[in-house]
Structure 1
Amino acid sequence: MSGATITMAGDITFAKTTSDGPLFTIDGDDIIFDGAGFSFDGNGADYWDGEGTNGGVDKPHPFLKFKGSGTYSDFTVLNSPAQAISIGNSDGLVFDSITVDNSDGDTDDLGHNTDGFDVSADDVTIKNSVVKNQDDCIAINDGSNIVFENNQCSGGHGISIGSISSDKSVSDVTISGNTVTDSMYGLRIKVKASATDASVSSITYSGNTLSGIDEYGVLITQSYPDDEGTPGTGAPISDVNFTGSATTIKVGDDAQRLVVNCGACSGTWDFSELTITGGSEGTVSSDDATISGGSY
């Protein structure tokens, strides 16, 4: 499919299924998709059991999958069984004014692994969107030239680079003008301790505002899934910066402001536009990286 213009004419609700997922896929070049304010409803309550994709009821994931190139705008994703939107194999994709609303999954903590956007692609922009969920607002797992700007995230695990697995690289990412509220984490770079032949480089944060963060304002770790375990060395991190306009983070009393847990980090990292208040001081072990500026 190439050059198609698609306009939604109504809401779409998916019945419970045993399919692995995705339940809806578009793969084409130069697609213009206008949601016209309508919604995709995944009936998440029929699946949610607090286990997510780690066990319990089988949950189709991702709910929606987009590949190729084009512009997608003005639709809502409701109640995804697990991960909401997966973006892969991109040749230039823009997502504008998308809402992912899994807030019903907050009931009894039943929603789990309900990532808003999972990105493994090059040349992707996500902007002016809203995510309410119980996991990462966005997780950038692989790819380059990725922009995440002017979005609102609440209730989940904040904005993440990773988790980075073996043979995956993330570079040239700009995270700017976003708001994160009432979330477990703020901003994270998470690299698996076991990862090899992988890397993270050229990550820029600018003008983000975060509040109500429960555990870490900023966490940069190479020991994932442990937050502060023994870091691996097979996936170096370089060139992480808080520049441009101010990124301000307010964390809760029991949170740590900044934790850096590196086994293989390098370069000079400019944190001059980062301010974190509240909570307690975290441990900064930056290996060969030099961190300058900022208040945390």
Structure 2
Amino acid sequence: SPMLAARLIRQKITSQGSPLSPNPTTSKDTPSQNNPGQGAYDESSDGSQKQTPPVLKGACTLTGDYINNTDVSKCSTIIIDSLRVPAGVQLNLTDLQDNAKIKFQGTSTFAPMLWSGPLVLVKGKHITVTGPGTLDGQGAWYWPKGQKVTKPVFFRILNTTHSTFTGFNMLNMPYRTFSVWDSNYTTISGLKLNSSAGNGVAKNTDGFDLSRNNHVTITKNRIYNQDDCLAMQSSKNTVFSDNYCCGSHGISVGSLGGPVLNWTTTVDGLTVTGNTIENSSNGIRIKTIVGLKGLVTNAVYTNNTLINVTNAIVMHSDYNKTKGGYDGTPTSLVKITKIKIDGLKGTAENLYDIVANPDVVSDWSFTNIKVVASNNGNCTGEPSNVLC
């Protein structure tokens, strides 16, 4: 009834009980990326029963202290307003009604802890997620700890279809920001992703990373980070358009490669158009892993702008995951074919940085390249029709 809905809107999650605190010393409390829906739980050492999460209905508001695994499956609308998520706990939005609407308001925070996350997990069909709120990942706590500790992915959508995510902010990401897995016909637009407070120490804060999706569009977002603005691991029919990337490692495919060529090692159908990349180490980049198989094909880059990047066009078949960088030996078996770059302009230090395996690259086209570069750079192993 309208009165019930109104009462639920006013209800604070804190009225259901005190928040749970995870016990990170118990192995079963440590989330696993193999089970992306797993969060941390509270179980006292004397074996007492876990507190029962609340069940909400209708038009629901989550505010104050979040209780782990709050049941929102009966909510048609979910307002998340200045929520405080405890350390090691996941904001779990996976059991959603079809056509559910989620709205972020105020600033929601996630208390820091070393674990794999994700801090937010969303799964649904025909869902709409909007702002104008902010999610603060408390990155300043994580960044000084370096790259050898486990840090949580910030926000992941999983098995989501025919949905939209628009108009909210993600601040101070600990690690990878917005991860899209196994999703279809979904659009992400008008977001602001910002780890600029990290001032060069916010490593591995990729903007968007994509795996095993089909028909995902990412458009008109602003990304301030210190790793790839876009990191394509695998997916088909992806559009990345009219985004602004600052401080990043560029718009990247990879690092890509696996023991076999299959869906998880293929990027097929990538359109990158109308983006601006500023103060970044790379503009357009494809990097594949030595000794491994895969496919990058039908990638089209049109009318993109570079401002003060180090390397404009980067193609490497020598990425070594063990060393965490290029090893100078382009032995990747990942095929890179049907690559078109048309209408690239702006400023760079080096126009090209290409170290390709000539046995697996073919059918590249670079046209209307109007980048003002201090150096032409280096090209080895590129297809014979490419002059660089």
Provide TM-score, normalisation by structure 2: 0.69
Aligned counterpart for 2:347 among listed residues 250, 254, 265: 250
Root mean square deviation of aligned Cα = 1.7
Aligned counterpart for 2:314 among listed residues 189, 200, 219: 219
Higher relative contact order (CA 8 A, sep 6+): 1
Once residues 287 and 217 of structure 1 are traced to their aligned partners in structure 2, the CA distance between those partners, rounded to angstroms, is 15
The equivalent of 1:260 in structure 2 is: 354
Question: How far is the alpha carbon of 1:265 from its aligned partner?
Answer: 3.6
The equivalent of 1:282 in structure 2 is: 377
The equivalent of 1:208 in structure 2 is: 304
Once residues 298 and 117 of structure 2 are traced to their aligned partners in structure 1, the CA distance between those partners, rounded to angstroms, is 33
Question: How far is the alpha carbon of 1:127 from its aligned partner?
Answer: 0.3
The equivalent of 2:329 in structure 1 is: 230
Question: How far is the alpha carbon of 1:291 from its aligned partner?
Answer: 1.9
* Amino acid in structure 1 at the alignment position of 2:281: M
After superposition, the C-alpha distances for 1:242-266 in whole angstroms (9 at most, x for unaligned) are: 13xx2113113xxx21122221344
Q: Secondary structure of the residue that 2:347 maps to in structure 1?
A: strand
* Amino acid in structure 2 at the alignment position of 1:64: F
Kept in 2: contact 1:228–1:261 (CA 8 A): no
Kept in 1: contact 2:333–2:360 (CA 8 A): no
Give % identity.
29
Q: Secondary structure of the residue that 1:269 maps to in structure 2?
A: strand
After superposition, the C-alpha distances for 1:239-293 in whole angstroms (9 at most, x for unaligned) are: 11013xx2113113xxx2112222134433221122222221222224545226x
Alignment of 1:124-143 (within 5 A): 124-143=216-235
* Closer/same/farther in 2, CA of residues 230 and 249 from structure 1, 3 Å limit: farther
Kept in 1: contact 2:354–2:382 (CA 8 A): no
Kept in 2: contact 1:48–1:105 (CA 8 A): yes
After superposition, the C-alpha distances for 1:61-89 in whole angstroms (9 at most, x for unaligned) are: x1100121200000111001111110010
The equivalent of 1:13 in structure 2 is: 109
Once residues 146 and 184 of structure 1 are traced to their aligned partners in structure 2, the CA distance between those partners, rounded to angstroms, is 23
The equivalent of 2:178 in structure 1 is: 85
Aligned counterpart for 1:110 among listed residues 194, 201, 204: 201
Question: How far is the alpha carbon of 1:231 from its aligned partner?
Answer: 0.8
Once residues 345 and 381 of structure 2 are traced to their aligned partners in structure 1, the CA distance between those partners, rounded to angstroms, is 21
**1:151 has 2:243 as partner:** yes
Kept in 2: contact 1:265–1:289 (CA 8 A): no
The equivalent of 2:157 in structure 1 is: 66
* Amino acid in structure 1 at the alignment position of 2:185: G
* Closer/same/farther in 2, CA of residues 270 and 6 from structure 1, 3 Å limit: same
Question: How far is the alpha carbon of 1:51 from its aligned partner?
Answer: 2.0
Once residues 44 and 178 of structure 1 are traced to their aligned partners in structure 2, the CA distance between those partners, rounded to angstroms, is 26
* Amino acid in structure 1 at the alignment position of 2:298: S
Question: How far is the alpha carbon of 1:186 from its aligned partner?
Answer: 1.3
Alignment of 1:26-65 (within 5 A): 26-35=122-131, 37-49=132-144, 51-52=146-147, 55-56=148-149, 58-60=150-152, 62-65=153-156
Question: How far is the alpha carbon of 1:50 from its aligned partner?
Answer: 6.1
Question: How far is the alpha carbon of 1:117 from its aligned partner?
Answer: 0.5
* Closer/same/farther in 2, CA of residues 201 and 46 from structure 1, 3 Å limit: same
Larger Rg computed on CA atoms: 2
Question: How far is the alpha carbon of 1:228 from its aligned partner?
Answer: 6.5
Q: Secondary structure of the residue that 2:226 maps to in structure 1?
A: coil
After superposition, the C-alpha distances for 1:18-37 in whole angstroms (9 at most, x for unaligned) are: 332001010111111112x1
Kept in 1: contact 2:317–2:330 (CA 8 A): yes
Kept in 2: contact 1:50–1:111 (CA 8 A): no
Aligned counterpart for 1:4 among listed residues 76, 95, 100: 100
Kept in 1: contact 2:207–2:228 (CA 8 A): yes
Structure 2: unaligned runs, 5 residues or longer: 1-95
Once residues 24 and 175 of structure 1 are traced to their aligned partners in structure 2, the CA distance between those partners, rounded to angstroms, is 27
After superposition, the C-alpha distances for 1:92-150 in whole angstroms (9 at most, x for unaligned) are: 110010110000011xx321000011111221100000000111111011011000000
* Amino acid in structure 2 at the alignment position of 1:5: K
